[in-house]
Amino acid sequence: MEVLTTIAAVREFVEGARKRGQSIGLVPTMGYLHEGHLTLARTAREQNDVVIMSIFVNPTQFGPGEDLERYPRDLERDKRLAAAAGVDAIFAPSVEEMYPSGYATYVQVEGLSDVLCGASRPGHFRGVATVVSKLFNIVQPDRAYFGLKDYQQAVIIKRLVRDLNFPVEIITVPTVREQDGLAMSSRNKYLSPEERRSALSLYRALQLGTRLIVEGERNAAVVREAMTREILSYPDTRIDYVAVNDAATLEPLDAIRGRVLLAVAVWVGGTRLIDNMIVEVKDDVAHHDEK
Ligand code: AMP
């Protein structure tokens, strides 16, 4: 596996692959790899001749006072895991390589970026859309892989690709969970043993919301309230948002119908965690949907 740190080196690597007629899959990450990332990599491995994984803790998607400096990093471990998952090249640039002094251009996906995590983290999705656009231009992949753990991010990236005519297919991969249901996340490392127990509240609330809808509840406020109570029954939890929204527009629902996004953001001690589930209500019959 190659480890590339400059844009020029990536372009050269990609040019070689293209000359051989090989297809390219890109897996963008911030590193500190876990099974979620590795599932994206393995999916890319199955669908492409060449797999490139970017590992870059992108400063423009962190707000002031967020965890940019203490975000976990371990490139040596990431290299081993990525190689074992079949990654052909890691792109691990410096901040200066991606944002040289005088950098001034940003990509903003309006509307979709202003709700849910975008409301709590102003500028976050502008940073995400910008770095993903840059990665698409640098790597020019045939396919790029994103996890549904970050559901809003996946919706925004799909809109970005459509609106700016990027010639890339976006593939989404279901959320990979720990045995007890906690969504895997690099930030889970921050949790103390007690907080780790309270972190399960997100999954439990989503399960409860899904069950209520499957059992026939159609009032979104009732579902939100039940999920909120469930989360707050765990110690050290503080709610950022509990949302029952349209899965396509991301707008809040009053009556539950169609493809519904149940999404939660919860502070567990000093760590902000997110998770979501999709419930499809068709002809008034609901089922949980992991696609
Ligand atoms: P991150 O390194 O957290 O920015 O995540 C990089 C990519 O991995 C994003 O597309 C995430 O949605 C995806 N990802 C992170 N956690 C998971 C998970 N538990 N299951 C599936 N995909 C994930």
pLDDT digits (tens, 9 = 90+) for 200-217: 999 999 999 999 999 999
What tens digit of pLDDT does each residue of 38-62 get? 999 999 999 999 999 999 999 999 9
What is residue 82's predicted lDDT score, i.e. its pLDDT? Answer: 98
Token pair belonging to 207: 């399960």
- Integer angstrom CA distances of residue 247 from 11, 55, 280, 285: 36, 29, 9, 17
Q: What are phi and psi of 290, to 5 degrees?
A: -100, 10
Query: Residue 271: helix, strand or coil by DSSP?
Result: strand
Among 29, 24, 50, 56, which residue's Cα sits nearest to residue 40? 29
> Which residues, 6+ apart, have CB-to-CB distance to 219 below 8 Å?
254, 255, 256
- For residue 277, the Cα-to-chain-centroid distance in whole angstroms is 13
Q: Are 69 and 57 in contact (CB under 8 A)?
A: no
Q: Is 288 a catalytic residue?
A: no
What is residue 192's predicted lDDT score, i.e. its pLDDT? Answer: 98
The mean predicted confidence, pLDDT, of the chain is 97
Token pair belonging to 162: 């459509």
User: Annotated catalytic residue: which of 34, 37, 124, 287?
Assistant: 37
Q: Are 173 and 150 in contact (CB under 8 A)?
A: no
Instruction: For residue 142, count CB atoms less than 10 angstroms from its CB and return exposed for 0-12, middle for 13-18, buried for 19 or more.
Output: middle
Question: What confidence category does residue 291 fall into, taking pLDDT thresholds of 50, 70 and 90?
Answer: low
What tens digit of pLDDT does each residue of 118-175 get? 999 999 999 999 999 999 999 999 999 999 999 999 999 999 999 999 999 999 999 9
Q: Judge whether residue 284 has pLDDT over 90.
A: no
- Nearest ligand 1 atom, CA 32: 2
What is residue 180's predicted lDDT score, i.e. its pLDDT? Answer: 98
Q: For residue 249, how many C-alpha atoms fall within 13 Å in the half-sphere facing its CB?
A: 6
Q: Dihedral (C-alpha) 121, 174, 138, 57: value to the nearest 10 degrees? A: 40
What tens digit of pLDDT does each residue of 72-93 get? 999 999 999 999 999 999 999 9
What is residue 288's predicted lDDT score, i.e. its pLDDT? Answer: 87
Instruction: For residue 284, count CB atoms less than 10 angstroms from its CB and return exposed for 0-12, middle for 13-18, buried for 19 or more.
Output: exposed
What tens digit of pLDDT does each residue of 6-22 get? 999 999 999 999 999 99
Question: What confidence category does residue 283 fall into, taking pLDDT thresholds of 50, 70 and 90?
Answer: confident
What tens digit of pLDDT does each residue of 224-234 get? 999 999 999 99
Interatomic CA distance for residues 180 and 118, integer angstroms: 28
CA of 20 to the centre of ligand 1 (A): 30
Question: Ligand 1: residues within 6 Å at CB?
Answer: 29-30, 36-37, 39-40, 146-147, 149-150, 173, 175-176, 183-186
Among 152, 188, 184, 168, which residue's Cα sits nearest to residue 271? 188
Query: Hey, which residues does 267 pair with through a beta bridge?
Result: 238, 272
Token pair belonging to 24: 């390219």
What is residue 151's predicted lDDT score, i.e. its pLDDT? Answer: 98
Interatomic CA distance for residues 285 and 212, integer angstroms: 12
Token pair belonging to 119: 């409301």
Instruction: For residue 147, count CB atoms less than 10 angstroms from its CB and return exposed for 0-12, middle for 13-18, buried for 19 or more.
Output: buried
CA of 171 to the centre of ligand 1 (A): 13
> Which residues, 6+ apart, have CB-to-CB distance to 64 below 8 Å?
none
pTM: 0.98
Report the 3 state secondary structure along 196-226: HHHHHHHHHHHHHHHHHHHCCCCEHHHHHHH
Count each helix (H run) and each strand (E run) in the chain, helices first: 9, 10
CA of 39 to the centre of ligand 1 (A): 9
Q: Judge whether residue 290 has pLDDT over 80.
A: no
